[in-house]
Structure 1
Amino acid sequence: MATTVFMAPPAAPGAGAERVLFGWMPGAAQCDGTPVGHLVVRRPWGSLSYGLPKTPPSLTYAFEIDATGRPLSITREGEGFVSFGGDVAPALAASRFAPGVRKNCRITYTADVKSLTAAAVEDLVSYTITPTSGPLPKAGWDRIKGTGDCATAPVPQPLLRAFPDFGTIEGTPGVKDWSLVTYDTDENGTPVKMRTVMGTGNAALDSAARKAVGESRFTQGARTGCLYPYWKAPETLAPPPTPQETAFRPAASNCAEQTRWQKPLALRFPDPWLRRSIEGWAIVTYDIAPWGAVGNAKVVAAQPAAEFGQQALAILQNASAEPSAQGSTGCVETIRFAIGRKNSSSSVETPDGQGIF
């Protein structure tokens, strides 16, 4: 039977605790103990935290690489909750290595924690594009605004805010592309000297962002060093093909091909993977007691990461089938996590009173 899911914190800080930007830095990947080349290894999205850790934590993942260089069978080594680790496996899934099938691969991510006054400006801007743990504090915005006078009161107000035609811009599967444009305005409030400051390197988005800024209009007054970002939602990263359930059905199975559930399964897409628009699937085997309880549930396959199997297992363990005289053994369920239609833009809104973008 197949089921498809469609989807359109640290301890409280003490007084005066310093806000920091918590990120993860990927190390060198190895397969069978040999370094493997990569096209791009995505960094996980940053988070806000309090205080600098005495010993930076680390996370290690095992995985395989398919013929195209895509990481699959991503599984974290070790157990237990790790703060701010939710995007590490999805970021690895969105990475690409040198083409060629490889097994027994490993990569370690080490925490990179810096105060807002020491963090790289590009990392601070990246956080504002995906603010996973609340608005960036003023100390971070002060780093971003630079040396121009565009953020000096009275802040220029948009009379016309133009946007790219995002539907014509090719995005990146599993990656939220963004582009930060700097510009000046002349006495009439017309943008001039537009240029790309930083971003994810999507040339089409960079060009469209500069064009959109140039077509915008602001309240009068010459200003320098203005900034504005545009972002495009990740393109969907489809999962690898799903194997047939018959390959996992025990020989002694007496389970019907389709389980009759007492109520629809409580389907939920794993949030970190949904944010990156990465699809997946899991195949779970299980038994059903005569009164309908699900037991002996095991994940027998999951792609592109074990986390899809964990989510599927939680779904089935909380389900109840219709009662039967003898129950069933050797049941198999495929749960597919699929992305529905989504928006694909746009720009960033700043916290109240910041007026940087």
Structure 2
Amino acid sequence: MLNLFLAMVAPAITISPSPAPSPIVTTVSPIERSTRRQTVLAMVPMSGRCGDDLLDISRVQTPMADLFWSSSDADQPVNVRFRIDENGRPFGITGDPVGYGVMADLTPSLAASQFAPNSRREGCTIVYQPKRSSIAEADIHDLIGYAIFAKTRPPKELFERIAPAGSDCNTERPAYLLRASPDFEKIPATTGRSDWSMVQFDIDDVGKPVRLRIYGTTGNVALDKASLKAMAQSRFTKGARQGCLYPYWRRSGTLTAPESKEIAAYRPEDSDCLQTVEWKSQPTLVYPENFRRRYIEGWAVIAFDLAPWGAVGNAKVVAAEPAAEFGEAAQRIVLGSATAASKQGYRNCVVKVRYAMQKQDRAAQVNFD
């Protein structure tokens, strides 16, 4: 089992528990149950176009791989639609309903990508091809990235696959006597992507790391150098070992939300709603987790009606950036809110929900305007 060191404190938000939905009862035939297996799923960008023109996708970030239980290798390509602004940033990201949402990191990885600047482009599409493989056949780089950031403990098979040939470091894990750490704040962060460096090393008889090298990396050279230096300064209990692994990671740099119009610009002409909605109750303001992991900010504008007793109805997404998921999350927030009672109710109210990463404590913040 690898000793995974989470180098930075991850941003967090408080989520109030909500009533669990009724369970969905399904039946699985004995044949299907026997053929299900755990596979590594990677979404590979295959081609891109903006209208009739080809789009260079060489700098598109590949979504992080994930583990799924599956009985089939048949997957349909997924189309993701968007536009590109003058700075080369993709906005208005949405996906086809068929197959969309299979990978939580699909649209965040595109939002964090950078295209060539100085050319606005509309009607862009990237085709992603799902690629399934067994843990034994999966790419080592994909497996390391998954293991470092997995929400639940990966299976033993995955750690065994990652381990270098001939490794004996996991049979009797050496204990740390001194665990050195890089100064992560001095290492440049990659906007919209957490970087990692997996250090491979042996341990001599007295517990000193020797023969250090980079086993895998996202390519942050400064992090690679700092990781090697930190491991060289660490010390373990006595006893020679070989093929040990240790990951260091640097959190993403914040990808700020794009500019938006003033809220009045989204208000319909026939709106009879108050300029500022006074909320009597509102649910927990939930930040979309898949974008929070990459420190990607966003916003959404929601239009809705208010019943005389204060209930929200007819809520719909008017605008959302950089991806539709921000609008979907904001719509759920508005639908779960309520205002004080009024005599006649209101029509065509609008509200903006802003999602921002706080700089001081690296926490996710949702502002409900």
TM-score range, shorter chain: 0.7 to 0.9
Matched-pair contact (CA < 8 Å) for 1:38–1:98: no
Q: Does 1:282 align with 2:313?
A: no
Mapped contact 1:52–1:113 kept (Cα < 8 A): no
Give me the whole-angstrom Cα distance separating, in 2, the residues matched to 1:11 and 1:87: 29
Match of 1:151 in 2: 169
Worse-superposed segment, 266-275 or 87-96 = 266-275
Secondary structure of 2:242 counterpart? strand
Q: Deviations over 1:81-140 (max 9, x none)?
A: 7564221111111111121211110012221111111111111111101214x3222222
Per the alignment, residue 57 of structure 1 pairs with: 76
Aligned residues: 337
How many Å separate the matches in 2 of 1:337 and 1:141? 35
- Secondary structure of 2:281's counterpart equals coil
Could you tell me which of 41, 45, 49 is aligned with 1:30? 49
2:231 counterpart of 1:213: yes
Once the two structures are superposed, what CA deviation does each residue of 1:120-175 show, in whole Å capped at 9, x if it has no partner?
Answer: 1111111101214x322222222211124442533322211111111111111221
Q: CA RMSD in A?
A: 2.4
**Cα 1:96–1:258 shift into 2, 3 Å:** same
CA contact (8 A) 1:64 1:72 kept: yes
5+ residue gaps in structure 1? 1-5, 345-357
Kindly, what percent of the aligned residue pairs are identical? 38
1:253 matched to 2:253: no
CA contact (8 A) 2:282 2:334 kept: no
For 2:233 and 2:348, the matched residues in 1 are separated by 63
- Which structure would you say has the larger RCO, counting Cα contacts within 8 Å and 6 or more residues apart? 1
**Alpha-carbon distance between aligned partners in 2 of 1:138 and 1:155, rounded to the nearest angstrom:** 15
Residues in 2 aligned to 1:106 and 1:82: alpha-carbon distance in whole angstroms? 14
Alignment partner, residue 352 of structure 2: 334
Residues 77 and 127 in structure 2, CA contact (< 8 A), matched pair in contact too: yes
**Do the aligned partners of 1:280 and 1:308 also contact (CA within 8 Å) in 2?**
yes
- Alignment match, 1:102: 121
**Distance in 2 separating the partners of 1:127 and 1:230:** 14
* AA matched with 1:286: F
Pair 323,210 (structure 1): closer, same or farther in 2 beyond 3 Å: same
Structure 1 CA distance for aligned equivalents of residues 344 and 194 of structure 2: 50
Residue equivalent to 1:74: 93
Measured in 2, the distance between the counterparts of 1:173 and 1:118 equals 31
**Letter of the structure 1 residue corresponding to residue 353 of structure 2:** I
Q: Distance in 1 between matches of 2:64 and 2:210?
A: 32
Assess, with a 3 A threshold, how the Cα gap between structure 1 residues 153 and 319 changes in structure 2: closer, same or farther: closer
Pair 1:114 & 2:143 matched: no
Q: What is the letter of the counterpart of residue 240 of structure 1?
A: P
SS of structure 2 residue aligned to 1:14: helix
Give, as a single letter, the amino acid of the residue that structure 1 aligns with 2:111.
A
Partner of 2:157: 139
Quickly say closer, same or farther: Cα 1:35–1:191, change in 2 above 3 A.
same
Where does 1:1-357 land on structure 2 (aligned, <5 Å)? 7=13, 14=33, 17-38=36-57, 40-51=59-70, 53-78=72-97, 84-99=102-117, 100-132=119-151, 134-151=152-169, 153-340=171-358, 341-342=360-361
Runs (5+) with no aligned partner, structure 2: 1-11, 15-23, 364-369
Give deviations 1:240-271, integer Å, cap 9, x for gaps.
01211121112222211111122134321111
d(CA) in 2 for partners of 1:105, 1:231: 33
Conserved? CA contact 2:272–2:347, under 8 Å: yes
Residue by residue, what CA displacement relative to the aligned partner does 1:204-247 show, whole Å, maximum 9, x if unpaired?
Answer: 11111001100001122333322111112222211101211121
Tell me how far apart the structure 2 counterparts of residues 82 and 71 of structure 1 sit (CA, whole Å).
18
